[in-house]
Amino acid sequence: MKTIQRAFDYVIYGLEWTALYFFRDFSTGMIFGAMYLGFIWFTAGLLVIIFGQERAIAFITNHPYLFICVACVVILATGGLAFFAWTRDRETMDADLRRRLAKHNPLFRVA
């Protein structure tokens, strides 16, 4: 009986491993796809707000690849800004500002 249980443990482990990596990859792809479609929708909405509905529709229908490139730039820009904001610390930014001011302006130099 213990031999069957040990063999069954490997089967359960294999199923858990397959489910874990399958759903991890699946959910990663789904999240990327949902974000991509959301940013296309968001970029189209921005174009409508900035240029108006007729001009935005004309641009998207006449230049679909350029529109996709604009949507990718929006994704990269917002992701870059989010990464910038996530990796910054207020104390470090204040110290860098004081260092730059002291370097370029004699009034801010500390004795």
pLDDT digits (tens, 9 = 90+) for 57-82: 999 999 999 999 988 888 888 877 87
Phi/psi of residue 5, nearest 5 degrees: -65, -40
Q: Residue 66: what pLDDT?
A: 94
Helix (H, G, I), strand (E, B) or coil at 88: coil
Lowest mean per-residue pLDDT among 9-13, 39-43, 53-57, 102-106: 102-106
If one compares 60 and 90, the residue with the highest pLDDT of the two is 60
Q: Residue 2: what pLDDT?
A: 60
Unique residue bearing structure tokens 């002291």: 102
- 96: tokens are 């860098």
- Measure the CA–CA gap between 23 and 41, rounded to whole angstroms: 26
